[in-house]
Structure 1
Amino acid sequence: MSPIFGLRFIFCMEPRNQTAVSELLLLELTDDPALKSILFSLFLSMYLVTVLGNLIIILAVNSEPHLHTPMYFFLSKLSFTDIFLSTSTNPKKLVNIHSKIWGISYTGCLSQVFFVLAFLVSENCLLTAMAYDRYVAICHPLMYTIIMNPSLCVMLVLISLFISIVDALLHSLMVLQLSFCTDLQIPHFFCELAQVIKPACSDTLINNILIYVFSILLGGSALFGIIASYAQMVCFLLRIPSTGRKYKAFSTCGSHLLGVSSFYGTGFGVYISSTVTESSTKTAVASMM
């Protein structure tokens, strides 16, 4: 039976730059026709729920005047990011399942690498901006409208966009420098950066260093900022005698904490699964989650 997940690169036997590759073949998720229908329905449902759910959030924020606040402004941008992140991989997977033609162009694969990285980093930055917004709202309520003014909110979104594009562009350009020399198989269902560079014939030391450095720099600093913001909020609320005010303050952070937990929780899950198991199928399933 063919592997459940994978990605096969077709190259010539002599080393050459990856830009010479015109087509990549994606391996089937399964060769069982009945299971293919189930998977197609499952992935389509998940994708539609993601898109429609986030569109409802965006429309609600834009149509309701009382939701025109910094927190909901960041939330609407986060919804845009979720839609595009899901769209960068899911439609191609659905087309492959339906058409039974498991191929992707080199340009399409590199585009997936770029957009997945860009939207992941953007989401990471937006979650940090939302944590800062909650910190200001709870710890400095009288100064909230002054500090979190529209100019600052727009600037934070633009900074997150700039950082995400620079990070994705740098990694994508580094992939262009790699060479491959034989038929290679990558155990994944889309072109994810770490899986793409693994089978390269050329030296990937710089690529791996950049991945670790930027992961620690961007992911670590963002997570530290979120933890520091909530630590300040907890210390501030513990000094408040009113239980009702404490509950109201914490309730405004519930949705953000849920988003942070799901984002970093699944991220750490993928990392741990890739380090503790040699099964490519388990790693791919964890990444899909």
Structure 2
Amino acid sequence: MGGLVGAAASGASRRVIAPIVLTTVTGVGLFGISLLADLYGVLAPEGGTGSPPSSLPWVETQIGFAYVHDPTFAYRTFLVPGMDLRLSSLRLSGSGWFALNDDNARLRVEAAHRFIGPGTPDGPRAADGSFLEIEGALTHQRYTSDDFSITTGEVSLEGRLDLAHLGRTLRGSFAEMGWGIAVEGYRHGRRPLEGNELLIPRFAFGAYVGHAGYPRGEAKVVYDHRHDGYVGGAKLPGLGSGVPGHFGLEGRLHASPRWGLLAEVKAGSAYVGRLALLFRPGDSP
């Protein structure tokens, strides 16, 4: 509430809006996570719904399809490939969204360094799923049919805390928080490049699924304040429209050491759903 009052009192001035947005999203995140954690503590079985993996695979690939409902644009269906490559505490990732019914594509590369948390199988086994990492990413999205493109560079700090540290009844659940900033460059046809800054805080509450063997995975509910991408920001009536980001549900379930499924739905100014097949080659944890 204090953040909203501050934004209104300052007229959302660019000089003060950054700390206001970051503190407001963090405050709402702590409140929302606490509420969901209370519900989990009451409803979850003894010992929790699952346990985190002690290590992560060196390589994980995915191939899937996505559907985007946005009345502003013609695209609807997408082919979405991706890959994660881990080398000790370093992660390199790449993904692409390629429209099947329009000339539109989104390419993204990421590099992250993990300070603490589960790493590759050749490293020390983590005690739980908690982690802290810094990530840099570059995204290029071209709307060829609409004659414009967006290129985004960003850096963020993200962490997860297994909530068993806070209470026995919270075993199997976790909370995530992230803070970051992005710089965007827009190009409309042959016009000069235009720049913009974007704050990208986020938070999530989730639970692990499965304790040992397979199937096992995790599911979480997410709020992401970023407004770029296909889902955009929340569409609300009145003065609040365009300020909040978007909400989503994400889950992944591995049926074996090599094969799994990823599913997500997101709602902002558009609606996005995605289903992907996951594959881990070689020996995986």
Q: With structure 2 as the length reference, what TM-score do the two structures score?
A: 0.26
Q: With structure 1 as the length reference, what TM-score do the two structures score?
A: 0.26
Looking at secondary structure, tell me which structure has more strand per residue: 2
**Greater radius of gyration (CA):** 1
Comparing both chains, which one has the higher relative contact order based on Cα–Cα distances under 8 Å and sequence gaps of 6 or more?
Answer: 1
Looking at secondary structure, tell me which structure has more helix per residue: 1
